Amino acid sequence: MGKRIYFFDTTLRDGEQTPGVNLNQDEKVEIALRLESLGIDVIEAGFAAASPGDARAVRAVAKAVSKPMVVSLARTNKQDIDAVIEAIGDIENTGIHIFIATSPIHRERKLGMTKEQVMDKAVESVSYAAKFFKHIEFSCEDATRTELEYLCEISEKVIEAGATVLNFPDTVGYTTPEEYTHLFQYVTEHTKGIESVRLSCHCHDDLGLALSNSIAAVKAGALQVEGCINGIGERAGNVALEEVAALLETRKDNYQTETGINLKEIAKTSKLISRLTGIAIPPNKAVVGGNAYSHSSGIHQDGVIKDKSTYEIMKPENIGFTETKLVLGKLSGRNALKKRFEELGYTVNEDQLKEIFKSYKVLADRKKEIFDEDLIALLETQPARNESQFQFKDMSLQILSSNQYRAFVNITGENNTIIEGIGEGNGPIDAIYKGIDDALKIEVELIDYKINSVSKGKDSLGEVFVRIKNNDSPVKGRGIDVDIIVASANAYIDAINRLTGLNEKLYQTNSIPVQK
C-alpha cells in the first residue's frame, strides 16, 4: 500500500469566492453531505469571522457531517479565532485554518509588516488556537514567492506553537512543478520538527499548472491536496479535486498512493456543485466534461467498439456516469421513483420523496419522456425556503407590439401575502423582470442570463441561471421548469432572495482580501 493522500475541499470557502457565487446555508450543508459521500477528508466550511450568517453556516456544516474534519478559515488575530471557537469549538472533529501572508510583496505592500512582525503574529495566533483545537492548519499565503529560508523559520516556530498541518499555497498560480518540488524538498530538509506535521499544497490555476503543481507537491512529500470540485475559486480557480483523484487512481502504478475518495460519487458531486453555483462544466473539462467519454473520429469509434481501453483510460461508470435513457412514466408510483433514485446513488427519505413526487407528477404531465437528468434536477432543486423569502406565484402577458410586452406578476411574500407588480419591456423576460422589480420595489441590474437544457427533447426541462447586481455585489440565481419563462422568473427571484444573505456578509473594514 502506498502513502495515504488526504483531500481538503475548500469549495465552500475559496469556491464561494468565485465572482457571482453565493451559497446559502442549506446549499452549503447539501454540498457538505455530498462531499462526505465522496470521501473528502477535510471540509473548509467557510470564514466564520466574515459575518454571523457565515458563522451559522460553518456550524451547520460541522453538525451535519460526521466523517470529515470541518475547519473554518481565520486570519492571525484573536477576533477571527474567537469567531471559529464560538462557531464550532464545542463540536467534535473540528479544527481551525489560520493564515498570514509571508512573501515580500505581501508583507510590504499589503500588510505593511516586517518578517519579525509576521512571525510574531503567526506564533501568537497558533498558540492561542492550540488552547481550543487539536487540529490546526497554518498557511503561509503566497508561499511560492516567499524566501525559502524564511518559510523554514516560520514553519519551525508555528510547529512549536502547536500547528499540526503546514500548507504552502501557490496563491497566485505563479510557480512551476520544478519550483514547487524544490520548495517542499527544501522545507522538508531544513525545518526542525517537520516530520511531526502533515504537509499540504494549495494550487491556483492562473497559468494552467494547478494539477501539475499539486502532483509535483505529492511526489515531493505533501500528504494533503487542497482544491475545489470542478476547479472553481478565485480568478482562474483552484485545482479540480476530481482530477487529482482520477489521476492518482488511474496512474496508481506511477504514484503508489491511496486515497479515501469514492470515485463513483464524482459525477453527482460535480453536477450538484455546478447547479448550485451556476457555473457550467465545459464540455472538454477533464474527468467530468460532457465530451470526456465521447468519440467522434471514425478511427476512435472503431477502436472503442473493438475494445474501449483503446481510447478510454477511465471507465465512465467508475466516475459515476450512467447511460440509462427513458426511466419512468406518468403512471409510475412513488416506490418506482424511490428505486430509481437509489439506482442513481441517491438516498431519499420519505418526507423528501413525498415532495419530490408531487413535482414529478406535474412534470410527467408536461413531458413525454422523463430522463435521469430530469429526476436529478427535481431532487437537487427542491426548495428549502424561509417563510420570509419571496416565491414566484403566477403571471400573465400582453403583447403590445411586435417586441413590446406587458407582464402582470404575482409573488408570494411573507406570511403568504400576494404582491402584485406590472412591467413593460422588450420581450417577455424583460417585462417579467421589470414586473418583479415593481412588485418588490427594488432596483437591481441584470448582468448575466443563461439557459441550459437539462435533458433531451423539445419538452426538456429548461434551467436558467441569472446574475444580478445590487450596490456592486453580484449574486446568482437559478430556476428550472418545462416553461422557460417560468424558469426565468424563478431564477430572478432566487437571486433576489440571496441578496439578503449577501448584504449580511460584510467583512470588517480592516479586513484583508482572502485569496489563499
CA 54, CA 25: separation in Å to the nearest integer?
8
Give all strands (DSSP E) within 259-417, no chain letters.
326-328, 370-371, 391-399, 404-412
Q: Which residues contact 215 (CB under 8 A, 6 or more apart)?
A: 177, 244, 247, 255
Q: Hunting for cell 450512467 — which residue is that?
A: 322
CA 430, CA 452: separation in Å to the nearest integer?
19
308 pLDDT above the threshold of 80? no
Residues 338, 430, single domain; the answer is no
CA 187, CA 155: separation in Å to the nearest integer?
8
22 pLDDT above the threshold of 60? yes
Lowest mean pLDDT among 3-12, 383-392, 464-473: 383-392
Higher pLDDT among residues 34 and 333, named by residue: 34
Residues 369, 470, single domain; the answer is no
- Residue 296 forms part of a structural domain: no
- Residue 292 forms part of a structural domain: no
**So what's the pLDDT on residue 270?**
94
CA 96, CA 164: separation in Å to the nearest integer?
10
- Residue 369 forms part of a structural domain: yes
Burial of 363 (0-12, 13-18, 19+ CB in 10 A): buried
Residues 373, 407, single domain; the answer is no
**So what's the pLDDT on residue 508?**
37
Residues 221, 132, single domain; the answer is yes
Tell me which of 277, 310, 335 is where a domain ends. 277
**So what's the pLDDT on residue 506?**
38
Residues 133, 251, single domain; the answer is yes
252 pLDDT above the threshold of 70? yes
Mean pLDDT of 71-94: 97
- Residue 91 forms part of a structural domain: yes
Q: Are 262 and 241 in contact (CB under 8 A)?
A: no
Cell numbers linked to 436: 418583479
Range from 61-75, 293-307, 314-328 that averages highest in pLDDT: 61-75
Residues 151, 177, single domain; the answer is yes
Task: Return the ∠ at Cα 116 (arms to 111 and 121), rounded to 5°.
Answer: 65
**So what's the pLDDT on residue 350?**
87
Higher pLDDT among residues 315 and 503, named by residue: 315
DSSP states along 259-288 = ----GGGHHHHHHHHHHHHT-PPPTT-TTT
373 pLDDT above the threshold of 80? no
In three-state secondary structure terms, 399 is: strand
Range from 212-216, 423-427, 492-496 that averages highest in pLDDT: 212-216
Residues 211, 243, single domain; the answer is yes
- Residue 155 forms part of a structural domain: yes
Residues 360, 398, single domain; the answer is no
- Residue 333 forms part of a structural domain: yes
Mean pLDDT of 408-431: 92
- Give Dmax (Cα) for the chain: 77
**So what's the pLDDT on residue 378?**
80
Reported as a single tens digit per residue, the pLDDT across 78-89 is: 999 999 999 999
Residues 346, 204, single domain; the answer is no
If you compute the radius of gyration of the chain from its CA atoms, what whole number of angstroms results?
Answer: 24
415 pLDDT above the threshold of 60? yes
**So what's the pLDDT on residue 47?**
97
Residues 482, 459, single domain; the answer is yes
Reported as a single tens digit per residue, the pLDDT across 207-240 is: 999 999 999 999 999 999 999 999 999 999 999 9
Q: Are 467 and 447 in contact (CB under 8 A)?
A: yes
Range of the domain at 480: 391-504
3-state secondary structure 285-304: CCCCCCCCCCCCCHHHHHHH
CA 171, CA 513: separation in Å to the nearest integer?
12
pLDDT bracket for residue 432 (50, 70, 90): very high
Mean pLDDT of the residues in the chain? 88
Range from 218-227, 372-381, 405-414 that averages highest in pLDDT: 218-227
Percent of the chain exceeding pLDDT 90 equals 62
**So what's the pLDDT on residue 293?**
74
Reported as a single tens digit per residue, the pLDDT across 113-165 is: 999 999 999 999 999 999 999 999 999 999 999 999 999 999 999 999 999 99
**So what's the pLDDT on residue 232?**
97
3-state secondary structure 240-252: EHHHHHHHHHHCH
Reported as a single tens digit per residue, the pLDDT across 326-352 is: 346 666 778 878 877 877 767 788 888
**So what's the pLDDT on residue 301?**
57
Q: Are 458 and 478 in contact (CB under 8 A)?
A: no
**So what's the pLDDT on residue 501?**
58
- Residue 215 forms part of a structural domain: yes
Residues 254, 341, single domain; the answer is no
Residues 52, 136, single domain; the answer is yes
Query: What is the domain-level CATH number for residue 473?
Result: 3.30.160.270
Tell me which of 380, 415, 449 is where a domain ends. 380
Tell me which of 359, 380, 401 is where a domain ends. 380
Instruction: Please tell me the total count of domains within the chain.
Output: 3
32 pLDDT above the threshold of 50? yes
